[in-house]
Homo-oligomer: A and B are copies of this chain.
Amino acid sequence: MIVEIISVGTEILLGNIVNTNAAYLAEKCAALGLSCYYQDVVGDNEERLLGVIKMALSRADILLLSGGLGPTQDDLTKEAAAKALGRNLYLHEPSKEMIASFFQKRGLEITENNWKQAMMPEGCIVVDNPNGTAPGVIIEDNGKHVVLMPGPPNEMIPMFENAIMPYLNELQPGIIYSQTVKICGVGESKAESMVEDLINAQDNPTIATYAKTGEVHLRVTARAEDEKEAKKLVKPVVKELKGRFGNNIYTTQEDVTLEKAVVDLLLANHLTVSTVESCTGGMLAARLINVSGVSEVFKTGYITYSNKSKHKILGIKKALLEKKGAVSPEVAKEMAKGAALFAKADVAIGITGIAGPEGGSEEKPVGLVYIACSVRGRVDVKEYHFSGNRMKVRESSVSAALSLMRESILAYYSEVTFGEKK
């Protein structure tokens, strides 16, 4: 089936906000096996909105609209959709009650225009919105499905996941099931070439690659009569990918990020961690600390941007800093060792590099970064050459550091085990 994604709102046309709703819906629709040929953005103008809806009805089976369900005169999506399908609006009593109770619970006074949100197109399905006062709407008409959702992502996303996604899945024969294999420490083009034969050979399940900074995600998607059958199709492909990428796969779970995988690995091995950062200036620590529950493992983090600070806080010898330079494998190593010592942490990671735009030289160009990871005294140091602007170099450094942490911890345990066996 063909879907068209329509975002409604003058604030998008003015560039006040980035249209993340469309990207979110597009990714979900692709995962559902729906084809999307067009996305549209249109302002809060009934005539133009009506034109876009009519055009979309002529070329798609499913219309996903977000935005324009609010209480103001500017919010016209329901009105335009009803007009496009020749339906009237009526006062939907349960929605009226829901809106009244929403305001009451929050001790807010309800204004007259809020009742506009309880007006619904005849014969529609009203969709609950637990996070706001604008219910969603599904209108079925002549084999077409028009879905209206609120614009704020914190209302639209839960509504889509809880109600709209299952509805869309039902429209298609069988079901869609997908699993994502998340990989770090392998470049995008290398990862793609490693699965090219699989991508070309398969059409159910399909394999799609998604590149993130320092990561590659492979999504394996199958269509089958039921979930059991779909899982049976996905399983051998995921197994094959595990064989090919081995330890570079950090998770096959949708909701596990790279930083969460690292924190989980630390927790599982009862390891504490400390970070010491120069060019990334706290970004690595900030990403680790985005994992709720990190307090079990995170000790102290240091940001030693200046040479003086590297010397004073971590005890790195001035002579070494002068001889090798702050951006050197030797200093990265001493940073990690110093952090391990002073924070009394099992695992410590040091990052030093040239993020630019200034500070580069022929010998040490912008983008050169050294990262060291110490695991109970066993230290790995790696050299990286990243491209892009200051922020991009720093983001790439953080992803590489997380990847190196995983690698070093796994290497430490494989050596320990190997030693014990001897």
Contacts and interface: CB of A to CB of B under 8 A. Distances in A.
B299 A301 contact: no
Interface in A276-299: 277, 279-286, 288-290, 292-295, 298-299
Given A13-B26, A18-B20, A38-B40, A301 B302 contact: yes
Interface stretch (A29-37, A132-140, A243-251): A29-37
Given A39-B41, A284-B282, A24 B15 contact: yes
A292 B281 CA distance: 12
A45 interface: yes
Contact of A19 (B16, B18, B288, B389): B18
Interface residues of A, number: 71
A224 interface: no
Contacts of A40: 38-41
Contact of A312 (B298, B300, B301): B300
Contacts of A388: 154
Interface in A1-56: 12-20, 22-30, 36-43, 45, 48, 52
26 contacts: A13-B26, A13-B36, A13-B37, A13-B39, A14-B27, A15-B27, A18-B18, A18-B19, A19-B39, A38-B42, A275-B282, A281-B285, A281-B298, A282-B284, A282-B289, A282-B303, A286-B286, A290-B390, A290-B394, A292-B356, A294-B305, A298-B305, A299-B305, A300-B312, A303-B303, A309-B343
Interface of A: 12-20, 22-30, 36-43, 45, 48, 52, 154, 208, 210, 275, 277, 279-286, 288-290, 292-295, 298-306, 308-309, 312-313, 343, 356-358, 388-391, 394
Given A281-B290, A293-B358, A301-B303, 9 more contacts: A13-B36, A14-B26, A15-B24, A18-B18, A275-B303, A295-B305, A300-B304, A300-B306, A309-B343
